[in-house]
Amino acid sequence: MQQEDVRRWVTNGPAPEIINIAEKFGEQIKKKGLTTSQIRQVFSKLKSIEAKGYMHQRSEFMMLKPLIAYAAGRQSKVQGLQDLKDRVTWGIDAVLDVRETDEKKHLEEEQKRFQNFCKFFEAILAYHRASGGK
């Protein structure tokens, strides 16, 4: 899964070819030693932000980058976690990189991208789990 794949998902939403890429990536990070417990805190935080509303939790969303970087730093030998950290970072950057000058449209686009990012993260975790990830 390349940076452009992540950006496309976050910007445009899921599409069949990107879902297939997410499936392969979920399998790869499982083979590279990622466990769900290593990312539980990040996923829980994301779901909390989603439940409370992105616009009220925007700064908390931005803080997911250092949170996953910290998790990856603590488990530096787990290549699957390093790979996931990169994709999550790219996804967060894609959510925040809206180039709309009208403030209302900017916020609407950012909100849409956040929802797409949540689906992206959930898809990767689902495929990780489906491939036997614990």
User: What is the full per-residue pLDDT of the chain (134 aa) written as tens digits?
Assistant: 999 999 999 999 999 999 999 999 999 999 999 888 888 888 999 999 999 999 999 999 999 999 999 999 998 899 999 999 999 999 999 999 998 889 899 999 999 999 999 999 999 999 998 988 77
State how far the Cα of 48 lies from the Cα of 30, in Å rounded to an integer: 25
State how far the Cα of 95 lies from the Cα of 113, in Å rounded to an integer: 5
Nearby residues of 70 by Cβ (< 8 Å), 6 or more positions away? none
Tokens of 124: 């990767």
State how far the Cα of 15 lies from the Cα of 17, in Å rounded to an integer: 6
Q: Which domain holds residue 111?
A: 3-130
φ/ψ (deg, to 5) at 110: -65, -40
Tokens of 127: 């495929």
State how far the Cα of 40 lies from the Cα of 85, in Å rounded to an integer: 13
Domain count for the chain, please give it: 1
